[in-house]
Amino acid sequence: MSGDDQGRNHWFDDEAGPVVRPYAMTRGRTTSEGQHRLDLIAVVVTELDADDPETDPTLSPEHVDIVGLCRDEPQSVAELAAELDLPIGVVRVLIGDLVHTGYVHVTRPVPPAELPDESILRDVINGLRAL
């Protein structure tokens, strides 16, 4: 086997196909334009009036997959990463791209500091039971 063949086989698996490094999918970016911090439980929803992503030449197949998955039902960032079998960092960049281009929007969970105090909720429940 020549040196060239060894190099090619190192980056190719007959069962899996060619290996694509995650940074190649994001063009080396670790953040996207206008990207906010996306928690693992942030929910991604396809915009109702979004164009068909398959007709947009600027989107990668992974972008199209994300829009398709979120069109069926809203998905968390963690669910998308698991479904696409991609690292969270890559999925965050791709989602940021889609938010910027208007294909999806993200709803973030309420920060724990903004949640009502547990004692208040207990008081409300007790008050309802007393009715």
Tell me how many helices (H) and strands (E) the chain has: 6, 5
**pLDDT tens by residue, 101-130:** 889 989 887 776 677 778 888 888 998 998
* pLDDT tens, residue by residue, 37-87: 678 888 999 988 877 888 888 888 888 999 999 988 999 999 999 998 888
Could you tell me the pTM of the whole model? Answer: 0.65
- 35, with CB counted inside 10 A (0-12, 13-18, 19+), is middle
Choose among 31, 29, 49: nearest CA to 92: 31
Distance CA 19, CA 12 (A): 6
State the burial class of residue 47 (Cβ atoms within 10 Å of its Cβ: 0-12, 13-18, 19+): middle
